[in-house]
Amino acid sequence: MRRGIYFSMDALLATMLLVSGIMAFRILYIAPNNAFMDYTSRDIGNVMADISCQDAGLPYLEQLMENGTLRDNNASFLEKLGELWAQNKKYEMRKLLNDFRRKYLPESEFSVYIQNELVYNTYHESETNIVSAKRMVSGITANRTQTGYIARAIASKAVKNNTLVVMGDVITSAVTNPWGWNNYNSVYVVYTVDIPDGADISDAYWFIEAAWTDNKFSAYINGNYIGSSNGDATFTNLKDYFHSGRNYAEVVYSYGWGGYEGGEDGASHIVVKYTVNTTNTVADMSRHYFADVRSKCSIRYKKPVFISGELDSVYVNMSVNSTNATLIINYNGNDYLISKKSVVNYSAIWSDSEIRSQLAGYGLNYTNFTGKFVWFDVDLDTYESSEYTGNLRELFNKSYIYTEQELSSIVYKYIDITDTVDDYDYSEQQSGDFYRKVNWYYNYSNSSIPLFLKAQFAWLYYTGTTPSQVVKSNHIILYQSPPLIHEFARFGHDGDSVINGRNNFSLSFSYGYAVNPFNSFVTFSYLVPNMVPYGATFDTEGEALNDAKERLNETLGNAIEALNVETEALGIGRVPSLWGPILVEVRSWK
Amino acid sequence: MAGLRLINMRDKGQAYWMDYSMALFLFLVMLSIFLASLSNIESDSGIQEMKKKADFVSNTFLEEGMPLRWTSDNFSKIGFRVGKKLSKLRIYEFDGMTYYDEKSALALRYDFAVVFTNGSGAIQNLGNLCVIGKEMNITSRNRIAYYGNNFTDFIIKNMTGFNADIYTDEKLFSNLDNYTLLVLENPDFVDGNYSFAEKREMLENFVQAGNKIIFGGNLGGDAFNVSFVNAFGKNATFIREVSEMDIMQNESLNLSYNYAVNGSVDVLASGDGHIVFARWNYGNGTVYYLSNFSVRNKKKDIIKLIRYNINGLCGNFDFDSIDSDALVKIQRLCIVENRILTMEVYLWK
């Protein structure tokens, strides 16, 4: 009988192994990632912002209009919600939202927050798979009957600590001939570093990582030699080499002891820390200029562009010296050929309609790109990783990619802050300083508006392996291979997954892929309002002004110091007053 | 390991065979589940691809097209959005294409169908239109009636196409409750069993309740808070954009007219100072007046106006008619003209 028990135990063991195998297989290969498919919160926010009160068809809203609680039937439903919130009429607000849901979305679960205050909830939120969308709204409060003074304050001039980061691109050109020997080519890469006028530079450094670990290189800033090395190097204490205005950072790559190509692997970055008196320094997010590149072999230039908002149009304007040029768009690790063109008068241009229609042929449209890095790969002449030197090929720095996109939040009346994310941990060493699991941590306060997180990675890939790649923001999966992204040099996401408090951005790879957290670079950008709206009503003008200044200082926080504060007090007595802007957030879940 | 033990012990007794049989049975059951799971995973990846496509289709429809007022002949990109809302006219343009062309415009290899539903889940009739894409045999009923004496060919032909009830006598007034839109062509309601005042009161009550009337020619007297006068001319010009018809300001309207309207109205087109085409609200409804339906141009646009104002009923989506084991559905909340509806996109292999 004991042997019989062994048979049964074998069977049970085999059963357990198979069940575990099936579960592991399903988790690894078909992990759910449906966040991108759920538009409920975005649609609700859009519809509430776009539908007029008269078209909303809600009897209770009509009743509020008739009894004078609200006015202006042509205003949007969202504006009237904001107005009720400003009047502290929470019952009316909840009833309207409940009527809206019962009439149009009886099956949906969602909640509405105004200025991070929960004002409506259909049911308890589930802990996972919550999708959020935000809208700004402001307006006029009707029927305010209090008398007294209200005040608002605006920081018309402020000083802020800021960091300029110029992230290098993936640029390669052959430094070996077809036999694998030195072809005596040099690959010149010149980055433009624009520092705001009047900036006071406190620190600067430059990390350079060559395309192949053996490449030799020499670096110059504004024509001044700063050093040479092989593979990679960090040059520090460079603040005296830079000045406000336009700067040039040049690096010249050449053959080392075997690597086929000279150039950069996308991990290089120049960091300049400075303070400047300003209210807004958000860079022009529509034009993305290329670095100046010269080489006597064909050139491959891969430029990542972060699409932070809704993308309306794209075109690529290349100013180059070559026979032909090829444009490929790489998204989520897949290459999509746009076309190969002959260069005429040093110019090759890809129009929006051409790019749009080519992508449509692959089943892609621009909305796929929102909140992600998209790679624009340009080859000057048919690219060879090993070849004899020939004519000089040049890619001029007036070449650019134009992306017409709307920021997901309103920049006006906000001060943008970019912080480097320096708090990280790592585990599962692959080799040297390269690790397979890395977490970055940063704090976010809900008094500001999150813009985006951008990351640049010093990466290591063992060719021939097929490692898994998973990227998460606060446990929300943003990317999961396949396909395997060989050059995992960039990743970014918008503010939708950012939460109040401590945030976690994490990378997780299996054997064969790793990043070096010490030479990687993560930044988080957000907007801080440079004003506070009219607040509570006070008996005297002085009290109202002091309250406005205190609220402004609290809002600006430690990163910004107000130099000039303009205040405005308003005596009120049975007159309408302004409210907002306020942030309305819709969260949905299933 | 279990198999080796079995060979060594096969003569040891029946109890071991029972155990062995049970173990083998369990193993085979689990192996079947494993193989079925593998098959499901392949199927899941296909579904994911379809979901992405459905996602793409819904986003495309909710975006603006290129050009903004594209037609089936000139579009470089389709999209139903115009301003903050989805335009029924853009939906009609898309619906006017062949199913093959619709799929080509969406770069779609799957079959697809799109319906618009209200909060109760009932499919909405967007002007003689219940479904976009694959013909799904969703029954529709348009609550529209036509009354006329001197039929204009292109009008009556399209009224038939819209399944309108056609009247030439006063029976119309007994059945007004069945309709939400009346098209009246040169009605001249003076004669008959009902007096003009009685007919006017019934028509005004009809519009007051939120319904619509499009009429042309001579009504027989003043009504709807406006007056009708004799006025003569041959041409008119649109003095404003008419979104219901895709008409832009300053476009010409070629018609011979004998009547014009006076009163507080939105003037759409005028000729020699006479208002020959107008729109105004009466109670909760809307009235359109055109001096003469027998226009020499803009015939399609007149039909667009009629179709735009059609309301009606649709039957249910018959899922059984879809012969596929892979069906994907995406729902998007949107505004179609002035109504909040849910766009449901279905894709299947």
Minimal C-alpha gap between B309 and chain A (Å):
16
Minimal C-alpha gap between B230 and chain A (Å):
36
pLDDT in the model for residue B312 = 81
Minimal C-alpha gap between B74 and chain A (Å):
14
Q: Which residues in chain A have their CB less than 8 angstroms from residue B333's CB?
A: 40, 43-44, 46-47, 104-105
**pLDDT confidence band for A281 (50 / 70 / 90):** very low
pLDDT in the model for residue B5 = 30
Residue reference for tokens 């799957």? B110
Q: Do A14 and B56 touch (CB under 8 A)?
A: no
Residue reference for tokens 């050009």? B67
Measure CB to CB from residue B119 to each of A7, A51, A106 and give the nearest one: A106
CA distances from A96 to A1, A53, A89, A553 (A): 72, 11, 11, 35
Residues 244-303 of B with CB under 8 A from A: none
N-term to C-term CA, chain B: 45
pLDDT in the model for residue A575 = 45
**Structure-block tokens of residue A435:** 């690790």
Q: Which residues in chain A have their CB less than 8 angstroms from residue B6's CB?
A: 7
pLDDT exceeds cutoff 70 at A279: no
pLDDT in the model for residue A36 = 40
Measured between CA atoms, the residue of chain B closest to residue A37 is B55
Q: Which residues in chain B have their CB less than 8 angstroms from residue A75's CB?
A: none
Is there a contact between A583 and A533 (Cβ–Cβ < 8 Å)? no
Mean per-residue pLDDT, A537-548:
78
Is there a contact between B241 and B247 (Cβ–Cβ < 8 Å)? yes
Report pLDDT digits (tens) over A343-383: 998 999 998 889 998 998 988 888 888 777 889 999 999 99
Q: Do B107 and A360 touch (CB under 8 A)?
A: yes
pLDDT in the model for residue A408 = 40
User: How many residue pairs bridge chain A and chain B with CB atoms within 8 Å of each other?
Assistant: 121
Q: Do B119 and A105 touch (CB under 8 A)?
A: yes
User: Residue A270 and residue A204: Cα distance in Å, rounded?
Assistant: 7
pLDDT exceeds cutoff 90 at A118: no
Measure CB to CB from residue B37 to each of A22, A56, A356 and give the nearest one: A22
Measure CB to CB from residue B19 to each of A7, A363, A364 and give the nearest one: A7
Is there a contact between A434 and A509 (Cβ–Cβ < 8 Å)? no
Mean per-residue pLDDT, A6-14:
68
Q: Do B26 and A29 touch (CB under 8 A)?
A: no
Mean per-residue pLDDT, A225-251:
91
**pLDDT confidence band for A26 (50 / 70 / 90):** low
Minimal C-alpha gap between A44 and chain B (Å):
7
**Mean per-residue pLDDT over chain A, rounded:** 81
Q: Which residues in chain A have their CB less than 8 angstroms from residue B24's CB?
A: 11
Report pLDDT digits (tens) over B206-251: 999 999 999 998 888 899 999 999 888 888 999 988 988 989 889 9
Q: Do B59 and A367 touch (CB under 8 A)?
A: yes
Amino acid (one-letter) located at A58: L
CB-based contact, B349 to chain A, within 8 Å: no
**pLDDT confidence band for A217 (50 / 70 / 90):** very high
Measured between CA atoms, the residue of chain B closest to residue A363 is B107
Minimal C-alpha gap between B79 and chain A (Å):
12
Q: Which residues in chain A have their CB less than 8 angstroms from residue B16's CB?
A: 3-4, 7
Q: Do B335 and A51 touch (CB under 8 A)?
A: yes
Nearest to A168 by CA among A190, A184, A151: A190
In this prediction the pTM is: 0.51
CA distances from A325 to A344, A379, A382, A383, A514 (A): 10, 5, 8, 10, 33
CB-based contact, B56 to chain A, within 8 Å: yes
As a whole-number percent, the residues of chain A with pLDDT over 70 amount to: 82
Is there a contact between A106 and A119 (Cβ–Cβ < 8 Å)? no
Complex confidence, ipTM: 0.79
Minimal C-alpha gap between B338 and chain A (Å):
6
Query: Which residues, at least 6 apart from B74, have a Cβ–Cβ distance to it below 8 Å?
Result: B67
pLDDT exceeds cutoff 50 at A200: yes
* Among B340, B342, B345, the residue to mutate for chain A (most A Cβ within 10 A): B340
Q: Do A22 and B334 touch (CB under 8 A)?
A: no
Residues 300-339 of B with CB under 8 A from A: 330, 332-335, 338-339
Is there a contact between A290 and A215 (Cβ–Cβ < 8 Å)? no
Report pLDDT digits (tens) over A290-323: 999 999 999 999 998 888 777 888 899 999 999 9
Q: Do A11 and B22 touch (CB under 8 A)?
A: yes
pLDDT in the model for residue A1 = 46
Report pLDDT digits (tens) over A466-482: 899 999 888 888 888 88
The DSSP symbol for A198 reads T
Give yes or no for a cis peptide into A483 (omega within 30° of 0).
yes
Q: Which residues in chain B have their CB less than 8 angstroms from residue A50's CB?
A: 84-85, 335
Measured between CA atoms, the residue of chain A closest to residue B110 is A363
User: Residue B217 and residue A24: Cα distance in Å, rounded?
Assistant: 75
pLDDT in the model for residue A373 = 83
3-state helix, strand, coil in chain A (%, to 5): 20, 50, 30
CB-based contact, B103 to chain A, within 8 Å: no
Least confident of A216-230, A433-447, B79-93: A433-447
CB-based contact, B190 to chain A, within 8 Å: no
pLDDT in the model for residue A463 = 72
Query: Which residues, at least 6 apart from A5, have a Cβ–Cβ distance to it below 8 Å?
Result: B19
User: Residue A54 and residue B284: Cα distance in Å, rounded?
Assistant: 12
Residues 14-43 of B with CB under 8 A from A: 15-16, 18-20, 22-24, 26-27, 30-31, 33-34, 37, 41
Residue reference for tokens 């009743």? A63
Measure CB to CB from residue A50 to each of B1, B107, B335 and give the nearest one: B335
Measure CB to CB from residue A51 to each of B1, B2, B340 and give the nearest one: B340
pLDDT in the model for residue A443 = 82
Report pLDDT digits (tens) over B272-284: 889 999 999 999 8
Phi and psi (nearest 5°) for A553? -60, -40
Mean per-residue pLDDT, B78-104:
91
Phi and psi (nearest 5°) for A535? -110, -140
User: Residue B51 and residue B38: Cα distance in Å, rounded?
Assistant: 20
Is there a contact between A241 and A206 (Cβ–Cβ < 8 Å)? no
Report pLDDT digits (tens) over A376-408: 999 999 999 999 999 999 999 889 998 877 654
Measure CB to CB from residue A7 to each of B20, B63, B333 and give the nearest one: B20
Mean per-residue pLDDT, A102-120:
85
